[in-house]
Amino acid sequence: MKALQYTAYGRNPVVNDVPEPVPGPGEILVRVAGAALNPLDVKIGAGRVQEYFPINFPSIVGTDLAGTVERIGPGVKGWGIGDAVITRTDPTVGGAVAEYAVVPATSLVAAPTMTSLDIAAGLATAAATAWQAVTEIAELKSGQKVLVHAGAGGVGSFVIQLAHRTGAHVVTTVSNAAAEIVRKLGADEIIDYTSVDFRTAVSDVDVVVDSVGGETEVRSLDVLKPGGLLVSLPVPPDFERAAARGLRAEFVFHASDAERLAKVVAIANEGFDVVVDRTVRLSGAADAFDYLAQGHAKGKVIVQP
């Protein structure tokens, strides 16, 4: 089969011919319909997260996939050939951007029926991370005000939708080109970060969900109300800086979790938009990876093997 592989840290991944994997005990072989690329994949390939997610070369890129059950390993029950499934693999294992992938049966969740199977792959990390940030960490409630940075991004687009569902007042920073996207997702106020300092446009915020980091994290503290919460996605925030100002800060360290993903799928079946920047065939996966690494994608980049 063909797969997109890391061959060394700091090198662009390449599409190679590799042996089709065989499911062992407790595993299932999935025919991949779609695989979603994530910023984490870029960090893994660059070697920036070796402390947390070391990999052995060559290694197949990607954690997020959706597809159909092709073969079932010994001891697996509850799944049948042809079942539509979605999963997120361990980042140290990867394996998503390929024609087939072997995954633990316990990691699988029935795919949503209201989203095409290839696009459903975009839920696995981004939507589940958004769920973790909005529901588990922030515990966002109706009437609260939330500021979502990079609202047109993979995670941000889901944060907006989840926050809107709670009845919160949703403010987001995006470029003007993405304004209509986030408006349709449920944003109440839109700030064009390319021309406006968000600190002059919003205040008394209960929760900031930041997927940018750096100076954006520092400036976000200025718009939080006393006791407000900064939820950081890319890196652990400066907890001491926040505490010194009477604020709270939390870091979302997302881990593969079938139970959480099942909750996201349930919402997807009620109506959950997966914002897709582009879809590409596996032959174009290396270029798609490079595009994502540039940081300008609006929504998800999906590879269709």
* pLDDT tens for each residue of the chain, 305 residues long: 999 999 999 999 999 999 999 999 999 999 999 999 999 999 999 999 999 999 999 999 999 999 999 999 999 999 999 999 999 999 999 999 999 999 999 999 999 999 999 999 999 999 999 999 999 999 999 999 999 999 999 999 999 999 999 999 999 999 999 999 999 999 999 999 999 999 999 999 999 999 999 999 999 999 999 999 999 998 899 999 999 999 999 999 888 899 999 999 999 999 888 999 999 999 999 999 999 999 878 889 999 99
Alpha-carbon span 216 to 236, nearest angstrom: 13
Q: What's the CATH code of the domain at 63?
A: 3.90.180.10
| pLDDT for res 296 | 78
287 and 300 housed in the same domain: yes
By residue range, what is the domain housing residue 213? Answer: 126-251
The residue assigned the tokens 């997120």 is 88
Both 194 and 78 in one domain: the answer is no
Determine if the peptide bond prior to 74 is cis (ω within 30°). Answer: no
- Same domain, yes or no, for 161 and 240? yes
Structurally, the chain folds into a number of domains equal to 2
DSSP lists the bridge partners of residue 29 as: 71, 102
The two structure tokens encoding residue 43: 């960090």
State residue 256's pLDDT score.
Answer: 82
Rounded CA-CA distance 215/229 in Å is 17
Same domain, 198 and 278: no
CATH of the domain at 237: 3.40.50.720
What whole-number distance in Å separates Cα of residue 76 and Cα of residue 28? 8
Note the pLDDT of residue 197: 96
Please check whether residues 263 and 184 belong to one and the same domain: no
pLDDT at 271: 85
Give phi and psi for 212, each to the nearest 5: -105, -55
Say if residue 213 is in the same domain as residue 165: yes
Same-domain check for residues 214 and 154:
yes
Same domain, 110 and 207: no
The runs of H, that is alpha helices, within the chain are 39-46, 117-120, 126-131, 154-166, 179-185, 215-220, 239-244, 258-271, 285-293
> Domain boundary residue among 208, 236, 251?
251
Domain co-membership, 236 together with 287 = no
Q: Are residues 118 and 229 in the same domain?
A: no
181/72 same-domain check = no
Is there a single domain that holds both residue 120 and residue 130?
Answer: no
CA distances from 85 to 116, 132, 154, 286, 292 (A): 12, 21, 21, 25, 25
Q: Tell me, rounded to whole angstroms, the distance of Cα 273 from its chain centroid.
A: 13
